[in-house]
Amino acid sequence: MNSNFIVLTTNRSGSVWVMSTLNSLPEITAQGELFLPRKRKVEKRWDSEFAIPRYVERAMNGFKPRPFSVFSYLDDLYCTPGTVGFKLMYKQLGLYPEIMIYLIQHKIKVFHLVRKNHLDVLLSFELKRKIGRAHVLAGQSAPELIQVSLDTKTLINNIEKLQRKQDLARQLLAWFRLPNIEITYEELLRDQANFNIILNFLSVDPDDNIPTSTLVKIRKGKHRQVISNYNEVQKVLEGTNFSNLLDESVP
């Protein structure tokens, strides 16, 4: 079976860390968001040395009309030797639904990456907004402990939106019967030996050495240390289906 893949996920799910970790293996080429609808920025990123032009950059150069241009773009990508994959956000699949047709026709494997703790996702958005960057590369200075506040008026609604997105993605994968696995960011972070689950799914022989990422973690500290209005957040979550999120934070 074809071992090429996509990582289906959403923002602030730990996906860049996962992709950079997979890309550290010689058998795998893991690209970033190839269907992000804007040109790449010039600053150094985790994939700057090997990233291919995004679809929108190819389209600017007189590419074929859709859906043929999307199919041609993916054909070119998957012609790369070895096991090749890229990151596809839920929203991007909505913008380019023909990608689903391609995945079905070519039996592309889908690794559904989810972040179990939706509170951590919202925190990650706030941290990114506060420091003005999404990631820190190894060797760059990482910020010290930062505190952010969460809007308690929209907190439950935002958590429910994140849950609905995950549920819809699961339904799509089930409906179209694509070969897929689901793994949480939390279990990969807790024990990187769990990357072997992904490698087995991709028919890549696990290495004795655990793969490593070029990124360093921005967030330091547990919820009580990071959330400046922790008591308010705790009160809002109390008695809801999400009350245990404060107890499941990733250290």
DSSP string, 45-81: -TTTTTPPPPHHHHHTTTPPPTTHHHHHHHHHHHTSS
Residue 75 is predicted with a pLDDT of: 97
76 pLDDT exceeds 70? yes
Query: What average pLDDT score do residues 217-241 get?
Result: 88
Q: Is the CB of residue 1 less than 8 Å from the CB of residue 179?
A: yes
Judge whether 45 and 140 are in contact, CB under 8 Å.
Answer: no
20: left (phi over 0), alpha (psi -120 to 50) or beta: alpha
Tell me: pLDDT of 237 over 80.
yes
User: What is the average pLDDT value for the chain, to the nearest integer?
Assistant: 87
Cα–Cα distance for residue pair 48/217, rounded to 1 Å: 19
CA 245 to chain centre: 20
One-letter amino acid identity for 190?
Answer: R
Q: How far is CA 207 from the centre of its chain?
A: 23
- 106 SS3 class: helix
CATH classification number, 5-247, choose in 3.40.50, 1.10.760, 3.90.320, 1.10.3470 = 3.40.50
Query: pLDDT value at position 250?
Result: 44
Domain boundaries, the chain: 5-247
State the CB neighbour count (10 A cutoff) for residue 244: 11
Note the pTM of the prediction, 2 decimals. 0.89
Query: Could you tell me the pLDDT band of residue 109, with boundaries at 50, 70 and 90?
Result: very high
The C-alpha atoms of residue 5 and residue 85 are separated, in whole angstroms, by 5
Sequence length of the chain is: 251
Query: Which pLDDT score, from 0 to 100, does residue 141 have?
Result: 59
- Express as a percent the part of the chain with pLDDT over 90: 61
User: DSSP secondary-structure letter at 182?
Assistant: E
d(CA 240, CA 91) in angstroms, rounded, equals 28
Question: Does pLDDT of 222 surpass 60?
Answer: yes
Per residue in 28-41, pLDDT tens?
A: 999 999 999 988 87
Contact 5, 83 (CB under 8 A): yes
Mean pLDDT for 12-33 is: 91
What amino acid is encoded at 69 in this protein?
Answer: S
pLDDT tens column, 162-184: 999 999 999 999 999 999 999 99
Q: Which amino acid is at 179?
A: P
pLDDT: is 194 or 207 the higher one?
194
